[in-house]
Amino acid sequence: MNWKFDINRNTFEIIMKICKPAIITAILLLGSLPASARSSQPATLQPAIIQPDQSGEAILRKVDQNLSSKNRVFESTMIINGRRSTRSVTSKSWSEGDKKSFSEYLSPAAEAGTKMLKLEGQLWIYTPSADRTIQISGHMLRQSVMGSDLSYEDMMDDRKLTDIYDSKVTGKDTLQGRDVVVLELTARLTDVAYHRQKMWIDAERFVPLRQEMYAKSGQLLKRMELSNVERIQGRWFPKTMIYKDMLKEGKGTEFRITKIQFDAAIPEHIFSKASLR
């Protein structure tokens, strides 16, 4: 498409070049998973099978308790499935709650050394080749990025799901060979990205195995498939996620956590702009 973006074209191009966008988004997405209620309490270990009369909100809270931690340090591989080729990018990330996150790319060589910092709804990217730090503004966060299935905004909304959605249990199902309950979330506020969401939650482990985001019109927009659930430091955690833009052709983008540690001692300076250089 031919655009006339002259005034901000340079800035935009620099950002696009620097960000290697899907990578960035994926790492932040993993860092903030799940984007729901937060608790620093460790996960519950008892086999708390979902009760028939349990409310959607209570289930969401249990999911949050299971998946959240005070902080986490992890290494991940992102597999970007393009139209013609597939490539992998590895990175190491540190995150605290879902408001603070810092990532550094490890490979491939072209991306190595690029760093990204998310602090209280703001995002900065540093690229070693240009030796520049750029802040991605609120408007730019709305851009979808370089044909990937992700956009910056997908990981920037750090409000609790329980704060912005009304939830109710709409049914039971079987997914990945496990019993799941289906939760339907409807926005109770107007300024949310997705008016409606659906979540398939493992009835025993309280881990979402699938999440779908819908437009106001009811059109399915995005789908996340979570799998490879493992017990790590006393909590169930999905180590693989496939994020797919349902309006596009293709296999989506896959994220695999290769190493993760919860509640580690992370020095405070990690989450500062000084860490970018």
Contacts with another protein by CB under 8 A lie at 1-8, 137, 139-140, 142-144, 147, 187, 190-195, 213, 215-217, 219, 221, 245, 247-250
Closest distance to another protein from the beta carbon of 120 (Å):
18
Burial of 164-195, coded b for 16+ CB within 10 Å and e otherwise, reads bbebebeeeeebeebebbbbbbebeeeebbbb
Q: Provide the minimum distance between the beta carbon of 101 and another protein in the complex, in angstroms, as a whole number.
A: 22
Identify which of residues 85 and 219 has a Cβ nearer to another protein in the complex.
Answer: 219
CA nearest to 28, candidates 142, 124, 163: 124
Nearest CB to another protein, comparing residues 64 and 154:
154
Please give the distance of CA 211 from its chain centroid, rounded to a whole number: 12
Contacts of 241 (CB under 8 A, 6+ apart): 29, 30, 33, 224, 225, 226, 227, 254, 255
- E runs forming strands in the chain: 71-81, 86-96, 100-107, 115-119, 122-127, 132-136, 165-175, 178-187, 196-202, 208-214, 220-232, 235-245, 253-262
If the CB atoms of residues 50 and 221 are measured against another protein, the closer one turns out to be 221
Instruction: Say which residues have a Cβ less than 8 Å from residue 100's Cβ, sequence separation at least 6.
Output: 118, 119, 120, 271
- Residue 68 vs 197, nearer CB to another protein: 197
Of 249 and 268, nearer to another protein (C-beta) is 249
Q: Minimum distance between the CB of residue 71 and another protein, rounded to whole angstroms?
A: 29
Q: How far is the CB of 156 from another protein (least distance, A)?
A: 11
Question: Min. distance of Cβ 237 from another protein in angstroms?
Answer: 28
Report in angstroms how near the CB of residue 69 gets to another protein at its nearest.
29
Nearer to another protein, 143 or 240 (CB): 143
Examine residue 108 and say whether the peptide bond preceding it is cis (omega within 30 degrees of 0): yes
Cα→Cα distances 81→84, 143, 225, Å: 8, 19, 15
As measured in angstroms, the least distance from the Cβ of 24 to another protein is 18
Closer residue to another protein in complex, CB, 46/190 = 190
Please spell the DSSP secondary structure of 27-56, one letter per residue. Answer: HHHHHT-S-S----SPPP-S--PPPTT--H
